[in-house]
Every structure is written in C-alpha cells, then in structure tokens.
Amino acid sequence: MPEQGDLGFGPAPRQPSVVRSANPAGDRATPAPGGGVRPGSARSYIIRTDGAARGNPGPASAGAVLIDAGRADARLPNAPADVSISDFLGHQTNNVAEYTAVVRALDLARELGAREVHLLLDSKLIVEQLHGRWRVKDAKLIPLWTAARGTLAGFERWSAAHVPRAQNSSADRLANEAIDRVRAGGPPSVVVRPGG
C-alpha cells in the first residue's frame, strides 16, 4: 500500500453556504404531475467527487456532482448534475480535500433521501480504503474515512469504483471554482439543488 505524504491540518469547520433550489418545499421525494418523481429527489445517485489543494497543502476545496441513477445518461462522464456542491475548505492537503468531497456528497445524498449511491472517484486511495482493502494510516484521514463509512452503512446499497481523472472533470471544475470564488470575495460554499 502506498504511504501517505499528507501534511494537512484536518477538515475545515462547516461554513455558511449559499443554497440554490428551484424546489422551495424541499428536496425529499415528491410526486410530480403525471406520477413521476421530481428532479433532485432520486432514490439512487451516481456521485462524482474531486478535491483540490493548490500547493498541497494550500488553499483547498471540494466539488461533487450527484446524478439521478435512473437517468439514461447517469454514468456518462459529462452528464449534467441534478445536485452539486462547490466548497472552499481553507488550508488543507489534497487527500483531505478529496475525502471531504466524498463525505459532503454522501451527507447530501442521505439528506435527499437516497437509498443507494454509486461513487465514481478518481482517487484510488479512497476507493480502496472505503472497501477496506487498504488501511487508513494518515491520522487526518481517519475521521473522514470513519464518517464516510458510517454514512455508507446507512444506505441499502453502495459501490465505489475508480475512474480516470478525465471522467471527473465536472467535480474538478466545481472544486476549482470554489477556490477562485472565495479569492474573488464570494461565498465559501455553493450547493445547487435543481428541482421541479
């Protein structure tokens, strides 16, 4: 197993966020006219996440896209997000940022009422550790791993697979937008929840 060269300072505390939603009644599963389920209330999500740290450690961020797994294009790398997260994390390492993105995406999927999640991650480290094939040696990652595994245990089904970095460009873009947005004086966190 590869050794970790992670020199970060642990996860940043939650900061105030901007939440955009076209569904002011909430994002829980709600019947839509015609008997379907409104967007943003899927029971199963494809989740793509990424973290960024400029300088490693340095200004860091997390990005995530959640896509209704019932959509025909859900597993395509360029599938548009039903829900997205773009969070500035302060001064962190890349591994902390990557794990934080996973934890926040899982928390949001649970909040939205998902019963199953399928993670497609470009971090082989996280995929192998979530499956228990690699040990978590870095003390800063242990609480994040514990949080992720605890949330995953609450889903009926979950999977985590490693994908090439190019397939996570949407999550990468959201992570980098967070750093640029904060440098320009914008909010540290933006969660977009499209709804019907």
Task: Write out the DSSP string of 100-130.
Answer: HHHHHHHHHHHHTT-SEEEEEES-HHHHHHH
Q: What angle do CA 133, 154, 79 make, to 5 degrees?
A: 80
Determine if residue 35 is left, alpha or beta; phi over 0 gives left, psi from -120 to 50 gives alpha, anything else beta: left
Q: How far from 107 is each of 19, 46, 54, 112, 147, CA to CA, in Å?
A: 15, 14, 25, 9, 9
Q: Where are the domains of the chain?
A: 18-22+29-193
CA nearest neighbour of 105 among 29, 53, 57, 160: 160
Mean of pLDDT values over 4-29: 36
pLDDT band at 8 (very low <50, low <70, confident <90, very high): very low
Global pTM value: 0.81
**Bigger pLDDT: 62 vs 5:** 62
Does pLDDT of 57 surpass 90? yes
pLDDT of residue 154: 97
Residues 119-144: b if buried by 16+ CB within 10 A, e if exposed: bbbbbebbbbbbeeeeebebebbeeb
Q: Which CATH architecture has domain 18-22+29-193?
A: 2-Layer Sandwich (3.30)
Does pLDDT of 18 surpass 50? no
Lowest mean pLDDT of 19-23, 82-86, 170-174, name the range.
19-23
Question: Residue 138 and residue 161: Cα distance in Å, rounded?
Answer: 21
pLDDT of residue 134: 98
pLDDT of residue 33: 33
Question: Residue 57 and residue 96: Cα distance in Å, rounded?
Answer: 9
